[in-house]
Structure 1
């Protein structure tokens, strides 16, 4: 009797660990490659242990008799956790998109730095904005909201029910386009400023052909971009935080 109860408890824990563990491995901030895999694994085990009393009544209480049924249940939890983690990570890429657009407008397109979220080289401004976004997730406790979204996902995606692949693919495609839209919206003031600046340079070149516009434009463009970035940084951060929070609330409706 004790072995049967223990087996069922382990089964419930395994289901919760699969969804939360997969989401933690993919989500921004805690799922970055710079965080050691052992730390992420221990965190996933700890969170799953804490969530067993909270989510135990929403899960199957008896372990399946067939190993194929168990594999199917674990596959469903893995796919749901992967979708949740990717949904949050795609919103972080909006900062990288905005950073690349800003780099072009500030004449810094050839300045690269390591981007921790992408685990590769990226634009200097994009890397800065990405690190800022990851920091803001911890500062504003949005990682707690992510855990709440995973808990709420058990109402939207019950265990054992395979998500409709067409709807899931459509949702991911919408998130990709939305993250790009958010990145463009964040960089919109700089795009407008860049167009105005280039129009002014063109007018100056027509009025004063003897002036070497190129040598004047580069330093002015860089200085103006840095000043505008300093002034607009707080607004950019608040706008992105609102979009990130709204994306997490989608799973909590």
Structure 2
């Protein structure tokens, strides 16, 4: 009769299950893979495949009891680490969505919304366009490979069972405010140009009150807004490279014990 001892089960749990929880938690939260477009079963199979490839190359894992409070705490810790990795990537992607929504509100296109198939929520069309653009740029520049590399390195720089440094992660959390700053930097030229257009319409209304400025200004603002967004696309690549580097560097800092 085939029997397993507690030591063997604990060794398997430490060697395979603990890394699997960190990997699966990140894949469930991160953009592209963690969206509704990818079925839950496919994500689990993908996490299992990554775990099988990584485990032979990882440092020795701690031997834990199969059923123990400390084991459950270590599992919760690994899930938390993986969720934080995916959350940072989500913030990076949502920065461009916020930028698109700001531009859409300024140009009067905020009413034009569509259902985001990835998240199942209604977003502005411009925001969805920016999200699709940054997704393609992220994949084209092998950003997903960099994320997997950081994830593999995290098992060396942040070993399983090493414990979380609350002060370290609180310091990193304070840096997440750059998200809204990045969104403003992305759309500041467009918002400034649209503000000048609205001021010009206001002056026209005061100078010639008999003009129906709403029937003229609304479609003109939409057209000028689209032209401004089209012109701003010429510099989107350089801005994306800077912000993607900052996001990935922040992700690498999270995977390191201070």
Q: Does 1:27 align with 2:14?
A: no
- Separation in structure 2 between the aligned mates of residue 203 and residue 115 of structure 1, nearest angstrom: 38
CA root-mean-square deviation:
2.3
In structure 2, the residue corresponding to 1:23 is in which secondary structure?
Answer: helix
Q: Is the 8 A contact 2:93 2:131 kept in 1?
A: yes
Distance 1:39 1:8 in 2: 27
For 1:186 and 1:140, locate their aligned partners in 2 and report how far apart those are by CA, in whole Å.
20
Instruction: Map residues 39-188 of structure 1 onto 2, 5 A cutoff.
Output: 39-55=42-58, 57=59, 59-60=61-62, 62-64=63-65, 67-175=68-176, 177-188=177-188
Question: Aligned with 1:194: secondary structure?
Answer: helix
Q: What is the TM-score when the length of structure 2 is the normalising length?
A: 0.86
2:24–2:47 Cα contact (<8 Å) kept = yes
For residues 136 and 163 of structure 1, what CA distance do their matches in structure 2 show?
33
Report which stretch shifted further, 243-252 or 138-147. Answer: 243-252
Q: Aligned equivalents of 1:49 and 1:141: distance in 2?
A: 22
Give the 3-state SS of the residue equivalent to 1:119 in structure 2.
coil
Deviates more, 1:155-164 or 1:192-201: 155-164
**Whole-Å Cα distance in 2 between the matches of residues 119 and 221 of structure 1?**
29
- Gap change, CA 1:15 and 1:234, over 3 Å in 2: farther
Which digits, 9 at most, give the CA deviation of each residue in 1:153-181, with x for residues without a partner?
A: 23443211331345434533532x22111
**5+ residue gaps, structure 1:** none
Verify the 8 A CA contact 1:112 1:123 in the aligned structure 2. Answer: yes
Instruction: Tell me, yes or no, if the aligned pair for 1:76 and 1:161 is still in contact at 8 Å.
Output: no
Deviations 1:192-248 (A, max 9, x none): 111111122222233333322222111111111111212212423441343123221
